[in-house]
Amino acid sequence: MAPRTPSRPVGTVTRGTTNPNRLRRMDRWIAAFHGAALRRAADPVAVDLGYGGAPWTAVELLLRLRTVAPHARVVGIEIDPARVAGAAPYERPGLSFRHGGFEVPLAGADPVLIRAANVLRQYDEEQVAAVWARLCARLAPGGLLVEGTCDEIGRRHVWVALGPEGPRTVTFAARLGSLAQPSDLAERLPKALIHRNVPGEPVHAFLRDFDRAWAAAAPYASYGARQRWIRAVRDLTADWPVLDGTSRWRQGEVTVRWEALAPRGN
């Protein structure tokens, strides 16, 4: 049963910055890894939480999910009522917009997917666990929360995937032609990790090892950045629990088990 919806939305207004195709890397990953769950669901509802000042990301999420789950529907949720009103002209069958926040006000429905991109960066690190728990409690059985951060045009992106039980994986994704070294992704770590990129923390060690593997793979650069990335990730698998394979690495991605990167003492 869904928890009682608070009388006022939970959360604070974000900057609202958004651009078309900003979240394409995250959407592509969601479609690949969560498409089957969406297809199996009797009511495959996905939430674009905090879509920002324009509804592009919600519109694009619907289009991308329907390539793998034709009956998927998307609800864009924003805490700023003016943004909800501005998005209304973009509503269509399968796409709607609603005023709300972390309480995820969906009457009679539990989402199979909640995507929260560039939402938690303005919060304190100490607040993240409670927000994660609140959002995960709203998921349908088999549901997924994807929370992360990207740059303004979606070239660099890092996200955490969580199930009802909590965090599962961390994915790093980049437009490889714009990447000097893997640790360039550090500036896009989600709030739970960005302040932990310091010596002694697992995420710092991971990015250090990734840079070393990238440097060792320099001879592969003559075949292109993609081949260099693939070789570097393959070397990482000797010491880190990488969960995906070459087909995802070719997309400029790598997914690692959350427990390997979780902050010390958490």
On whether residue 15 sits in a domain, the answer given is no
Is 259 among the domain residues? no
Residues 145 and 245 in one domain: no
C-alpha distances (whole Å) from 218 to each of 111, 137, 221 are 44, 45, 5
Q: Do 246 and 152 have their domain in common?
A: no
Same domain flag for 138 and 216: no
CB 128 within 8 A of CB 263: no
Residues 131 and 244 grouped into a single domain: no
Q: Give domain status of residue 185, yes or no.
A: no
Q: Are residues 155 and 82 in the same domain?
A: yes
pLDDT at 2: 44
Given 174, 208, 227, which residue is the final one in a domain?
Answer: 174
What does the longest C-alpha to C-alpha distance in the chain come to? Answer: 59
pLDDT tens string 171-193: 999 999 999 999 999 999 999 99
Which residues contact residue 124 at a Cβ distance below 8 angstroms, ignoring those fewer than 6 apart?
Answer: none
- Return the DSSP state at 34: H
Same domain, 91 and 163: yes
Of 140, 174, 208, the last residue of a domain is: 174
For 4-51, how does the pLDDT look when each residue is reduced to its tens digit (9 = 90+)? Answer: 445 688 777 776 678 889 999 999 999 999 999 999 999 999 999 999
Side chain identity at residue 92, one-letter code: R
8 lies in some domain: no
Are 136 and 246 found together in one domain?
Answer: no
Query: Which pTM was predicted?
Result: 0.94
Is the Cβ–Cβ distance between 197 and 167 less than 8 Å?
Answer: no
- Whether residue 11 contacts residue 79, with contact meaning beta carbons closer than 8 Å, is answered with yes
**Are 156 and 114 members of one domain?**
yes
Q: Which of 139, 174, 209 is the last residue of a domain?
A: 174
Query: Is the distance from CB of 28 to CB of 68 less than 8 angstroms?
Result: no
40 found inside a domain:
yes
Residues 42 and 141 in one domain: yes
Q: How many domains does the chain have?
A: 2
Residue 76 and residue 153 share a domain? yes
pLDDT tens sequence across 84-126:
999 999 999 999 999 999 999 998 889 999 999 999 998 999 9
Give me the domain span that covers residue 84: 24-174
Q: 87 and 125, same structural domain?
A: yes
Residue 17 lies in a domain: no
pLDDT at 16: 62
In a domain, 167, yes or no: yes
Q: Are residues 104 and 39 in the same domain?
A: yes
- Candidates 260, 60, 228, 236; CA nearest to 160 is 260
What residues contact residue 253 under an 8 Å CB cut-off, 6+ apart? 25, 29, 171, 172, 173, 244
Give 78's pLDDT tier (boundaries 50, 70, 90).
Answer: very high
* 64 domain residue, yes or no: yes
CATH number at residue 94: 3.40.50.150
Burial 126-150 (b: 16+ CB within 10 A, else e): eebeebbebbbebbbeebbbbbbbb
Q: How far is 187 from 140, CA to CA, in rounded Å?
A: 32
Q: Which of 258, 247, 232 is nearest to 179 (CA)?
A: 232
